[in-house]
Structure 1
């Protein structure tokens, strides 16, 4: 297990319901015991489509257990939002990292790995490996 607790996972989507559904799916598929902390940060604070730095920061703080926070995003402008927040340096917990991974498969892989005690690098690698999952 990572020192300082488990890696937290934040799922950033332009849609609140989508982020929440992917979080629920990941938890359901990783079931069989306690899972690492995961939070959805989708849509705007008014409930519309888009991204909210406030919702992302709140979600990251809610899952931070001292071992890092992996942020997975759905689309390009969410990437830009998270990159901007990381560059600012004071909106996200120390050890927060943008993870380049497919949103759904990466979320499941990240949560399973974090729940098993993987450190932030292992969580990132597992999520990124999801790009190789073949469906045909």
Structure 2
């Protein structure tokens, strides 16, 4: 599924489905429905972990030509997100960025930037300013 919006999409990836869904809920409450938003959490069996296929599905859900910013909680989430991005293939893979930012705060700040119409590079830079 592709987003019809020209707004940068946000994907939240966590090893915990509850953390991923809760973070997405917080983002939605802060910025409303103006930003394409999806989450992926847990492994296929419903336990802790991540799934490359689920992450790819989340990216596809929020996809637009404006790009997608992905927020991850731990190393495995980042690795599976990288594989999902590679699976998109060129040129779309070049329009997806994993943000080196705190999961919750980064996603909220990025969504606020995206809601204002900022391009992907600015959305990522703003979120990454939160990192120590």
Establish whether TM, by shorter chain, passes 0.5.
yes
With the shorter chain as reference, the TM-score category is: 0.7 to 0.9
CA distance in 2, matches of 1:91, 1:120: 17
What is the SS of the residue equivalent to 1:72? strand
Q: Alignment length, in residue pairs?
A: 127
1:47 aligns to what SS in structure 2? coil
> Aligned ranges for residues 10-89 of structure 1 at < 5 Å?
10-31=11-32, 34-89=33-88
Give unmatched runs, 5+ long, in structure 1: none
CA–CA distance in 1 between the matches of 2:91 and 2:45?
Answer: 21
Higher alpha-carbon deviation: 86-95 or 43-52:
86-95
Please give the alpha-carbon distance, in whole angstroms, between the structure 1 residues aligned to 2:25 and 2:85.
Answer: 26
Q: For the Cα contact (< 8 Å) 1:109–1:130, is it kept in 2?
A: no
Q: Any gaps of 5 or more consecutive residues in structure 2?
A: none
Shift of the 8–71 alpha-carbon distance from structure 1 to 2, 3 Å rule, reads same
Maintained 8 Å contact 2:42/2:50: yes
Q: Which residue of 1 aligns with 2:9?
A: 8
Structural RMSD (CA): 2.1
Q: TM-score, normalised by structure 1?
A: 0.84
- 2:106 aligned partner: 106
Change (3 A) 1:64 1:103: same
Aligned counterparts of 2:18 and 2:58: Cα–Cα separation in 1 = 15
Other structure's SS at 2:117 match: coil
* TM-score, scaled to structure 2: 0.86
8 Å CA contact 1:51–1:78 kept in 2: the answer is yes
The match for 2:124 is: 124
